Amino acid sequence: MQINKDNLIKINDYLWEIPKSFRSDMRVPARVYATEKMLEEILTDRSLNQLINVATLPGIQKYALAMPDIHEGYGFPIGGVAAMDFETGVISPGGIGYDINCGVRLLKSNLSFKDVEPYLESLARELYSEIPSGVGRGGKLRLNDDDFDEVLKRGAKWMINKEFGKENDAYFLESFGCLENADPDKVSSHAKSRGKDQLGTMGAGNHFVEVDRVHKIFDEKIAEIFGLKKDQIVVLIHTGSRGFGHQVATDYIRIMMQAMPKYGIILPDRELACVPFSSPEGKAYFDAMAAAANFAWANRQMITHEVRKSWKNILGDAGGELSVVYDVAHNIAKIEEYFMEGKYKKVIMHRKGATRAFGPGQEEIIKEYRSAGQPVLIPGSMGTASFVLVGTKDSMKESFGSSCHGAGRRMSRHEAKREVRGNELREEMEREGIHVKVGSTPGLAEEAPLAYKDVREVVDVVEGAGIAKKVAELKPIAVIKG
């Protein structure tokens, strides 16, 4: 049954609901954060139909949720959030995505734009040279089997112990850069072979390393807590678990498709392949997914090391230190607790193209940030603004402590290449003062701003809905891509 606007109930200016009565197999309603204008565009693809399918999964709690950057994905829409009952619910790789723990890290410097401006071209060139990027591109780090398994167990912490980082880096990462349940034995040898040489690599697609200046501060008090100020130079790193995470997802989707009949699971879409979380297959996937998440944190840690090396090579001692503000995952499943039906309930939180946005006072937030809330890092489309937000108390009640993760695609990569010439886009960005270093000019066209929603509109929706709050706006001054 095709969804249209008449099937949605407007809860407020930023939130719409598809009632449980829309389809007989829905266990809960489906909700989407969007303005009326954005909703018109969302209805042009299958993403809301995918969200309705998510609402049919065994053990789903309260509602299936979508963020304003929603677009069509594999099984779950990208921008999807779903909480499954810990005892009776399922786990679905489609609710995490192929790029397990794709995420964003923000580094801050002590320098202002005027300090760095004379060095920008050299810095962009050095970053492009130092950080391997592009499809299938391997890195400089070569590990034996035992060391690679240790990376999968310990994530960013292993990298830091090997001197690819500062002692306190892990403290400023979500989950301290390591999920403790990771088990390398639950990962196939094929996945390991794909990942072994990819630590410290960016990949292609929408992944990037970006040098930004803090363009605006919206909340002085919280910005100060995060160590951000106007005109400061910061660095954004956006990448994930590369071919390793993709293979983990591929392996377990196949396993789950074969296992579902055993558990009597019937789905409206096979891409939602899932098993009970408590089943052997469910536990094995969760432990393999954690290994892939740890790989991604290790990968961003290695890239952080490469960024610091480039920074030092170009700016010398005058560059000072680059320190971590925060690192967030936006493709992951975690065990969390929420207050529902008069009590705290444990759930398996699926976030796919959605960011954890815990509000102030939550114990999971480090003490330095606890009074403010968790930093939420929202990269824009290439060449446009990115944002630092902060989680709110309302997000804990309304959205399972979740917010958006970026601008969200509105056009396929193929369509973008038809519409945009990569060389023209590069020239336009350089006219705007953005230094661009990219491996593939057609790849540049795929990530053109017109292929994405307006990140400002997306951010305004989550702020208007009260599930995150704007802290700072970042403007790119150098973009490095595969």
Catalytic annotation, residues: 405
Say how far apart CA 168 and CA 98 lie, in whole Å: 30
Q: Phi and psi dihedrals of 296, rounded to 5?
A: -65, -45
Q: Using CA atoms, how far apart are residues 378 and 375, in angstroms rounded to an integer?
A: 10
How far apart CA 325 and CA 226 sit, in angstroms, is: 6
C-alpha dist (Å) from residue 34 to 8, 14, 355, 453: 12, 5, 16, 12
E-strand ranges in 24-150 read: 30-33, 64-71, 78-85, 90-91, 103-112
Tokens of 425: 């886009």
What is the C-alpha to C-alpha distance for residues 478 and 472, in angstroms, rounded to an integer?
18
Q: Give the C-alpha separation, 246 to 296, whole Å.
A: 11
Q: Which of 383, 379, 388 is nearest to 357 (CA)?
A: 388
Rg (C-alpha) for the chain, rounded Å, is: 21
Residue 372, sorted as left (phi over 0), alpha (psi -120 to 50) or beta, turns out to be: alpha
Residue 427 has a CB neighbour count (10 Å cut-off) of 12
| Residue environment code for 59-81, b if the CB has 16+ CB neighbours within 10 A, otherwise e | bbbbbbbbbbbbbbbbbbbbbbb
